[in-house]
Structure 1
Amino acid sequence: MPAKVYTDKDADLKVIKKKTLAIIGYGSQGHAHAQNLKESGLNVIIGLYPKSKSVKVAKSQGFEVYDTAEAVKKADVIMLAVPDMKQPEIYEKDILPNLEKGKTLAFTHGLAIHYGLIQPPKGVSVIMVAPKGPGHVVRSQYVEGKGVPALIAVLKGSSKDSKKIALAWAKGIGGTRAGVIQTTFKEECETDLFGEQAVLCGGASALVLAGFETLVEAGYQPEMAYFECLHELKLIVDLMVESGLSGMRFSVSETAEWGDYISGPRVINASSKKAMKAILKDIQTGKFTKNWVKEYKEGLPNYKQYIKDGQNHQIEKTGQRLRSLMPWVKKRNIKGAQAAYN
């Protein structure tokens, strides 16, 4: 049975109109939620640590900024919009001591709650509002009068009005303009992690690199390998997003479609699916999160090495040069833009 899709008519901003909403963090999702909620006529404050670079940014955009602990004291609904691995420390130090019964704790992702990195006290409601898109898209779509679809969840034991609060928040950021679906912290977290690792980030990156290396190792020019294994991927993904797999196949040549049918399963096959099931098992049992927490606490040595190795790969050098020849490809200094919100 298809999931119910909630729209504007199912949500009421009056539910949180008289409440103070605190957003802890002012990064990708944080700044988008804050600005959209503010422009929806709601009372939003920002909680940050004193030396955060985001203090100046948030103030320049019209927000009252407080130390995290003070923001929690003042707020009725508190959303943690900081990276997963930073949440437990911030929660224990600044949030938990100031959480009173009747307040609502909100998240944009289910990891910290689902795996017990954060354990809210009784009497505090816990919700999730998770837009299915990056913060800059959540913001730009709202400005255009549109919205990004979102997921909501309510943790067992929360107050009866928690779902209404979650829907109101989703409406405030523009989510109900597109459609909102209710899920659970478990379902959102496990499917999100799996999608990132097996398909969207890990799977796609590994597939691109393997294709690039196969062609280069066979003696083809790296520029040709880049065009065929990375550059044109956007065209195919856009077609999938716009009209599904069948629509994509209809849009490409018959030769490409035939190759899809006979060669795709040779690359992604039973052994690939077996590996995906193992990845999902690691996520479901908490093994992935346990290892990620351990890596974070040890100072991210492997994580940093992966970043270094990836940046030094031939595909990055080739791509940087080729993208400079493509005026129609939007160039973005993503790392530089994100630094302004840290």
Structure 2
Amino acid sequence: MTLLRDADIDPSPLRGKQVAIIGFGNQGRAQALNLRDGGVAVRIGLREGSDRAAEAGAQGLQVLDPAAATKDADLVMLLAPDEQLARIYDCISDALKPGASLGFSHGLAIHFGLIAPRPDLDVIMVAPKGPGSALRSLYAAGKGMVALAAVARDASGGAWGLALAYAAAIGCGRAGIIRSTFEEECVADLFNEQAVVWGAVPELLAAGFDTLVESGVQPEVAYLECVSELKLLAELVEGVGLAAMRERISNTAELGGLLGGPRLVDDNLRRDMRTILEEIRSGRFAAQLSEEADAGYPRLRESRRRAAASLLERTRQSLDRSA
């Protein structure tokens, strides 16, 4: 693996170019503001009535409807939610000028065929490996965030150079850029979301909390033990790595983890992880995402309702009020 940094990257493919960013959410806002601060011409495409329009305008950014923002743009970055991208592409496809470049920060829409871009378009991806809020704060502090970059189609012969120049312009060249593919980024990201950070970890925290409370432990104590300490673990792992993390905790905690961890993360769990990975690769999850969106997100709305009403959430709020 080669980690490319600013010194390795030619910024000229983006020089004098007009960038349109469709969407002003997590990634759209951060990338647009970083581009603007770096002197890149950028405008925002938002649907009529979007509640993001006022926010983007207050930042001094030009806001147009998606098709108008796309017209004459050299690079159009589709940074709206994955399940909305096919509809958005249909709305802007006629406005894309010949030979323009279409960009993404996630590989799902292209890898699973939700979008079939015109053959004259370059298709690139720059995927910062973290939330937009962190991408923005790191940039403002003179730092950067590692990103994956990929090219799905190089119609012009210069798509890779453009992808690198864009990644550098949003600050990722300060930390490092890894060459990847739409498939690799998409599959790895979806697997992490489902089987590790956003799927398994919250469920594990809630299960630990419930187990202690059911045994008679006060909810506040259970919350502090099973949820609050996650931040300390994350900071240690980020700062020194998994191996050194173990050396920085007590012998009691280290031995407890050694005895307890493998009992939970056993061959059954690893088998289930492989099943999740197979389902992602097959396209099953991409289909489920589209079905959920078409139905108005019933499972997501119900999940959010249950989480907001849970004892764990009420305990968190109680501790916040007491702090």
The two structures share one fold, judged by TM-score above 0.5: yes
- Runs of 4+ more than 2 Å apart: 156-159, 323-326
Name the SS for the 1:146 alignment partner: coil
Q: Does residue 266 in structure 1 map to residue 263 in structure 2? A: yes
User: Unpaired runs of 5+ in structure 1?
Assistant: 327-342
Alignment match, 2:309: 312
Q: How far does residue 101 in structure 1 lie from its aligned partner after superposition?
A: 2.6
Q: Is the 8 A contact 2:73 2:96 kept in 1?
A: no
Q: 2:283 matched to 1:249? A: no
Q: Verify the 8 A CA contact 2:121 2:153 in the aligned structure 1.
A: no
Task: Report the Cα distance in structure 1 between the residues aligned to 2:56 and 2:318, rounded to whole angstroms.
Answer: 36
TM-score (norm: length of structure 2)? 0.97
SS, match of residue 44 in structure 2: strand
Unaligned runs of 5+ in 2: none
CA contact (8 A) 1:17 1:43 kept: no
Which letter maps to 2:203?
A: A
Query: 1:118-167 deviations in whole A, cap 9, x for unaligned?
Result: 11010100000111111111111111111111111100444321111011
Contact 1:132–1:149 (Cα < 8 Å) also in 2 = yes
Q: Which residue of 2 aligns with 1:36?
A: 34
Which one of 87, 90, 97 corresponds to residue 89 of structure 1? 87
Q: Which residue is equivalent to 1:331?
A: none
Secondary structure of 1:74's partner?
Answer: coil
Aligned to 1:194: 191
Which residue in the other structure is 1:141 paired with? 138
Helix, strand or coil: the match of 1:44? strand
Pick from 149, 154, 168 the counterpart of residue 152 of structure 1: 149
- Is 1:174 the equivalent of 2:171? yes
Q: Is the 8 A contact 1:101 1:122 kept in 2?
A: no
Counting aligned pairs with the same residue, the percent is: 44
Once the two structures are TM-superposed, the CA of residue 62 in structure 1 deviates from its matched residue by 1.4
Q: How many residues align?
A: 323
**What is the DSSP-based 3-state SS (H/G/I as helix, E as strand, rest coil) of the residue aligned with 1:155?**
strand
1:315-338 Cα deviation digits (max 9, x unpaired) = 000011113334xxxxxxxxxxxx
Whole-angstrom distance in 2 between the partners of 1:30 and 1:281: 30
Q: Is 2:286 the partner of 1:289?
A: yes
Point out the more displaced range, 295-304 or 171-180: 295-304
C-alpha distance after superposition, 1:211-264 (max 9, x if no partner): 111111111111111111101111112111111111111111001101111110
Q: What's the Cα RMSD here?
A: 1.1
Query: 1:11, CA displacement in angstroms?
Result: 1.6
State the distance in 2 between where 1:250 and 1:324 align: 35
Q: How does 1:97-116 map to 2 (within 5 A)?
A: 97-116=94-113
Q: 2:47 and 2:297 mapped to 1: Cα distance? A: 22
